[in-house]
């Protein structure tokens, strides 16, 4: 397997991703009438991981996925004509990428039409089997104030389903669960802010929602003094990530 070594290697992978994104755009959006934002999310989520444990390769791929997503959203007015053009090439793609690097979306005080907002997401693609394992873990360690958490509850939580929330029983253990999933690249880096924004976790008192600061401080405190339950959760995540 060829590993990423130079900036040119990273640029070539970005071009390959754009070429594949172009093929699916023409097939699914132009011909199939798929919603553009759904096409973007589906493409990004289906190309998030690579079959390589080399650190530089993984970092470059993650960077390229981030760039690609930004280009597809923030520079859609440039990407769509690029994809539709017959002279699609590496050079043309790098020109659009350079424009994206210096592009700032215009700020308008008022828009007559409702602008579509990106759905809140932990950017996870967990299987049903992994969801069952997570549910068993949260029940075993009583992470939430629910006598028997269902798989459907965890699916709603990880999907950031609008209107869904669950009351936390052991915040530190909830924090270590999500952090362990992050360590295996199963959820996005910004999981703390995502959970806060979505108001997905209710405080144990039932008054208010768990904030990013609450999660961060709980994780820091537990790292300083790990418990057998915390180690058990880490081991459970290690197993489901295999």
Q: What is the pLDDT of residue 56?
A: 82
Residues spanned by the domain of 148:
128-240
| 152 and 70 housed in the same domain | no
- How remote is the C-alpha of 157 from its chain's centroid? 14
Q: Domains in the chain: how many in total?
A: 2
Tokens 């290697």 -> residue: 9
Whole-angstrom Cα distance, residue 103 to residue 190? 23
How many CA atoms within 13 Å lie on the side-chain side of 42? 12
Predicted confidence (pLDDT) per residue in 204-216, tens digit: 999 899 999 999 9
Q: What is the 3-state secondary structure (H, E, C) of 13-39?
A: HHHHHHHHHHHHHHHHHHHCCCCHHHH
Res. 114: pLDDT tops 80: no
The pair phi, psi for residue 2, each rounded to 5°, is -80, 125
The last residue of one of the domains, among 82, 101, 120, is 101
| 63 and 142 housed in the same domain | no
| 117, part of any domain | no
Predicted confidence (pLDDT) per residue in 45-83, tens digit: 888 888 787 878 888 888 999 999 999 998 899 999 999
| 194, part of any domain | yes
| 133 and 88 housed in the same domain | no
pLDDT mean over 91-112? 77
Q: What is the pLDDT of residue 117?
A: 58
Q: Which two tokens stand for residue 106?
A: 């215009």
Res. 151: pLDDT tops 80: yes
| 234 and 176 housed in the same domain | yes
């Amino acid at each position: 397997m060829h590993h990423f070594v130079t900036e040119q290697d990273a640029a070539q992978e970005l071009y390959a991703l754009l070429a594949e994104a172009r093929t699916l755009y023409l097939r699914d959006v132009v011909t199939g009438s798929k919603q553009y934002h759904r096409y973007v999310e589906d493409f990004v989520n289906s190309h998030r991981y690579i079959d390589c444990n080399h650190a530089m390769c993984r970092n470059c791929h993650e960077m390229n996925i981030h760039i690609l997503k930004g280009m597809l959203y923030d520079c859609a007015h440039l990407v769509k004509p690029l994809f539709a053009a017959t002279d699609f090439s590496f050079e043309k793609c790098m020109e659009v990428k350079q424009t994206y690097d210096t592009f700032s979306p215009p700020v308008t005080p008022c828009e007559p039409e409702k602008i579509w907002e990106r759905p809140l997401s932990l950017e996870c693609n967990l299987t049903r089997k992994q969801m069952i394992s997570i549910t068993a873990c949260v029940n075993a360690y009583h992470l939430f104030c629910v006598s028997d958490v269902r798989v459907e509850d965890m699916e709603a939580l990880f999907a950031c389903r609008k209107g869904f929330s669950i009351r936390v029983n052991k915040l530190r253990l909830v924090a270590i669960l999500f952090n362990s999933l992050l360590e295996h690249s199963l959820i996005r880096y910004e999981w703390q802010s995502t959970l806060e924004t979505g108001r997905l976790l209710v405080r144990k008192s039932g008054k208010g929602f768990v904030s990013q600061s609450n999660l961060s401080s709980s994780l820091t405190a537990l790292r300083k003094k790990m418990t057998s339950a915390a180690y058990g959760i880490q081991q459970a995540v290690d197993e489901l990530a295999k």
